[in-house]
A and B are shown apart, each in its own frame.
Chain A
Amino acid sequence: MNTLVVTRLEWRRLLVRPLAWVLAALTLAWLGWNFTLLLGSFLAGQIQRAALPDGPGFTDLVAVPLLGQLAQLAFLVVPLLTMSVIAGERRNGTLPLLFAAGVPASRIVLGKYLAILGWLLLWLLLTLAMPLTLAHATHLDWGKLAAATLGIALMLAALAALGVACSSFASHPAIAAAAALILALVLWSVNLGAQMTGINGGAINWLAMSTHVQPLLRGLVSSADVLWFVLLIALSLALATRRLATDKERG
């Protein structure tokens, strides 16, 4: 129950701060504009594609690329959203209020994480609503779209967990945001060197987030990829919990 109280408190704080609204407005406007461009390009090439028996459809050319754009924006948006969740509380001096209410560190972390996750999933749903508005007028590959949505949702969840962990270790929200951004970029492209030399397997490729997102965006759901995200989320939240518990120990 404590977890939901913390979630509710964090959600409320998120809604009254201008940052979340500004981020939502700017990114949705950007994604709306890109959706229009992708749709224009899709309509322009419709005649040529009609000649291809198995050519790419609306899902491949509009819906999934739009989700890809959201994924790119997430590298900036998620660190900005998560930077204050714990570092901000630490600076305000309000963290002891939660400790003194008998809320364990794990529930504080989980509660805050769920609030951020709620915002991010809403953001994803609003983005997804753009291609879905044309579902009646075009042929959607529902399986591929569901896999791509799952991939982006897992990516957002992982970035949020990483952001919460960075916020728990940082003394200042800006440091938390910078650390979360750098870690996310490193995690995304850690296998870049290996890819350039033609190595497509091994631990370095397994470590990279891109290795696990791209198959999902292509419509391939593998339990190994899902497990990778679950592991990253669990590890990040466990580290955040440990750090917060240390805060209480150290004072």
Chain B
Amino acid sequence: MTTIIPASPIPTLQLEHVNRRRAGRPAVRDLSLALPRGQVLGLLGVNGAGKSTTLSIIAGALRPDSGEIKLNGEDFLERPELARTWIGWLPERAPLWPELTITEHLDAHGRLRGLRGVALREARTNIVERLELQPLARRLAGVLSQGQRQRLGLACALLHQPALLVLDEPANALDPVQVAALRKLIREQAAAGTAVILSTHLLAEVTTVCDRVAILHEGRLRHAGAVPADDHAALEKTFFEIAMNHPPVQAA
């Protein structure tokens, strides 16, 4: 089911000086980052660090107060409709329409993302098989367990084979077997050229899956760099230094 996305020197995602206030306080401050195709970026941070706000902005669900966002070099804020085909988003806690079945969900998402007819049916069949959702296909979303909801949310995000995959704590409520399958799936997507940005609380998630890591604290980017290979302790040290409100660490 994975389509190879052609190589391009332009980053899939580029954020320049993005700011956003929420509930009267700055949630994202002067955030700049770039994500080339085929890379997996892990977004780390304590609760309230601005991870979900950042991902909502990237997914097009929320507008920044200022700054620039480019998708494959195109101004995303000027052309929010780019989100339709280029971005797949799994929000935190996978919001679903409880009265629709899994199949209906995938059809609705597919149509919203511009898929029709045979293309939609093929995409749905492939993703249902890939995420092993066949036994649940006719079940209503309202009666799914949290782990099943998460898998359906992931299926909706992947259905249209986006160039950028935005995952907000994708391993939430998944069992260890499903977590391993999710990691494999993310790496497959990256190998096919999809840029992936994911937020997580789990440092192990980052060291296992991500090529690069960005640490947010109080809405600011405090650290950005390559994931230290097999050095969980180094990442943990950096994270805790930032989380304990030490002075910002220089970008690597």
Contacts and interface: CB of A to CB of B under 8 A. Distances in A.
Whether chains A and B associate is: yes
Interface of A: 2, 5, 8-9, 12-13, 16-17, 92-94, 96-104, 248-249, 251
Interface in B152-169: none
B22 A96 contact: no
Contacts of B96: 92, 94
A80 to B, nearest CB: 16
Contacts of A5: 108, 111-112
| Dominant SS among interface residues on chain A | helix
A104 B82 CA distance: 12
B56 A96 contact: yes
A-B pairs, top 4 by smallest CB distance, nearest first, are A93-B95, A102-B84, A96-B61, A101-B112
B102 interface: no
Contact of B100 (A12, A99, A102, A249): A12
Contacts of B108: 5, 8-9, 12
What is the interface residue range for chain B against chain A?
Answer: 20 to 34
Contacts of A13: 97, 99-100
Contacts of B112: 2, 5, 9, 97-98, 101, 103
A98 B60 CA distance: 10
B89 interface: yes
Nearest to B94: A93
A12 B111 CA distance: 13
A8 B99 contact: no
A249 B63 contact: yes
B93 A99 contact: no
A94 B99 contact: no
A16 B99 contact: yes
Nearest to B22: A251
B91 interface: yes
A99 B60 contact: yes
Contacts of B111: 5, 8-9
A251 B59 contact: no
A134 to B, nearest CB: 38
B91 A96 contact: yes
Contacts of B84: 101-103
From A92, A101, A102, residue with most partner B Cβ within 10 Å: A101
B56 A251 contact: yes
B210 interface: no
Contacts of A102: 60, 80-84
B72 interface: no
A230 to B, nearest CB: 29
A13 B105 CA distance: 11
From A12, A92, A102, A249, residue with most partner B Cβ within 10 Å: A102
Contacts of B80: 102, 104
A248 B97 contact: no
Interface in B74-124: 80-84, 87, 89, 91, 93, 95-100, 104, 108-109, 111-113
B124 to A, nearest CB: 15
B199 to A, nearest CB: 15
Interface string B21-36: 0100000000000000
Nearest to B93: A93
Contacts of A17: 99
B185 interface: no
A12 B113 contact: no
Contacts of A8: 108, 111
A96 B95 contact: yes
Given A99-B61, A102-B60, A92 B89 contact: no
23 contacts: A2-B112, A5-B112, A8-B111, A9-B97, A9-B108, A12-B100, A12-B104, A13-B100, A92-B96, A93-B93, A94-B96, A96-B62, A96-B91, A100-B60, A101-B109, A102-B81, A102-B82, A103-B84, A103-B112, A249-B63, A251-B56, A251-B61, A251-B62
